[in-house]
Each structure stands twice: as structure tokens, then as C-alpha cells.
Amino acid sequence: MNPFTKIKSKLLAIEAAPQMVSRGYALGVFLGTTPFIGTKVFIALGLTTFFRWSRLASVVGVYHINILTAPLFYGLAYGLGQRITGAETNLSFPSRLNVAWVFSTLFGSWEIFSSLLLGGLVLGIPMSLAAYFLVHFFLVKSKS
């Protein structure tokens, strides 16, 4: 089963209005594009509870971005953000990648964090809009 079929089946299993599932998923996709490592799911749960959207769909959206596209996506977001901000910070990768290096790199330099955040926002807004309309379309079509 391909990843998109798994995501579709998870979203179809959620017992909520298609609009609420679509909104939750789009929010999750949007938050997945931000560099808030370790807090994205909590932010998604808080916002979807506040707006009364589907909490489960938002978690699926966060994990969809993180698991499937993280290495490619974050590289692209960083490059785009770096061009927009004009940051001149260069990343140097250690011979062995570890969690401590990731956190010190992300949160130790304002230029790196702001480049990731801005690039993520620029890419995340159209991605979340597309996710909303795509998911809403197939949920309405599947449930009718």
C-alpha cells in the first residue's frame, strides 16, 4: 500500500464532517513545514481543539510532512529562506548526524532558524491550501 493510500484511508476513517477533517489536515501540513521540532503535534492539537477541527487529521498532516518529505523539504525550505533573508550562514554537517547537532544548529543560530521558518511558511501556505482542497474533494466524493 503506497503512503498516499494509507493517508487517505486514515482520513476517511475519521468520523467528522469533511470540512473539519480537511481543515485539520491542512493545519497539520502547514505546521509540518515549520521548524518547531518536537512541538508541532502539540501546537496542532491545541489549535484544532480551539477551532473545533479534527485533531486526528491535524496529527496525520504533521506526520505526513515529517515522515515522507522532511529531508528534501527542509533543505528546500532552508535554501529558499536563506535567499529571502539574505542570511550568509553555511551549514557544516558532522561526520555522524545526531540529535544534539540538529537542535544546536536550529536553535543556536537565529539566521538558520529564521531561514527555515520563512522558507517553511512560503512553501507551507500553498501546500496547506492544496491539501485542504484535495482532501476535501476526495472526502466529499468518497462519502457521497
Most distant CA atoms of the chain, gap in Å: 53
In this prediction, residues 115-139 reach a mean pLDDT of 94
pLDDT at 67: 64
- 112 pLDDT higher than 80: yes
Q: What percent of the chain has pLDDT over 90?
A: 51
DSSP assignments along 21-65, one per residue: HHHHHHHHHHHHTSS-TTTHHHHHHHHHHHHT--HHHHHHHHHHH
Regarding predicted confidence, which is higher, 141 or 105?
141
Dump pLDDT digits (tens) for 34-43.
888 789 999 9
What is the residue range of 39's domain? 3-143
pLDDT at 100: 79
Dump pLDDT digits (tens) for 69-101.
667 788 888 889 999 998 887 766 677 767 777
In this prediction, residues 137-143 reach a mean pLDDT of 89
Model confidence at 137, pLDDT cuts 50, 70, 90, reads very high
Average predicted confidence (pLDDT) for the chain: 87
∠ CA 90-91-95, nearest 5°, is: 140
pLDDT at 93: 66
40-46: which pairs have CB atoms within 8 A and are 24 or more residues apart? 40/66
> Domain count of the chain?
1
Dump pLDDT digits (tens) for 46-77.
999 999 999 999 999 998 877 656 677 888 88
- 6 pLDDT higher than 60: yes
